[in-house]
Amino acid sequence: MNILLSLGKRIQTVREKAGLTQEQLEEKTGVHTKYISAIERGQKNVTVKTLEKIAKGLNVELYELLLLSEEIGSDKAIKKAIETLIKEADSKILNLCLDFLRKAAT
């Protein structure tokens, strides 16, 4: 699996679903169209900072660009994102989450 190509295709898919051209994404992010094109073709090793700009320009969370095999907003993708956040959370955050879920379930 070529990770750069998979990531590039993911970014292209999300961009196209958002109805944006590479030029429009450049306007939103400040990332040059030629660089966006090279990323989407898997020819550039994109930095985390640039990925963050692209995610903001596409109006998605950064982690969503890294879900290479899942659909944004799918139950599986959401559960995976929650699991990742829970693993890193301290007890205060976990208790807040538990309270929120209890209230949401009622």
User: Which tens digits make up the pLDDT trace of 80-94?
Assistant: 777 777 887 888 888
Q: Is the pLDDT of residue 101 over 90?
A: no
Per-domain boundaries in the chain: 1-69, 73-106
What's the mean pLDDT when you consider all of the chain?
88
User: Which tens digits make up the pLDDT trace of 26-60?
Assistant: 999 999 999 999 999 999 999 999 999 999 999 99
CATH class of 1-69: mainly alpha
Q: Can you tell me the distance from the alpha carbon of 45 to that of 51, in angstroms, rounded to the nearest whole number?
A: 10
Q: Can you tell me the distance from the alpha carbon of 21 to that of 42, in angstroms, rounded to the nearest whole number?
A: 17
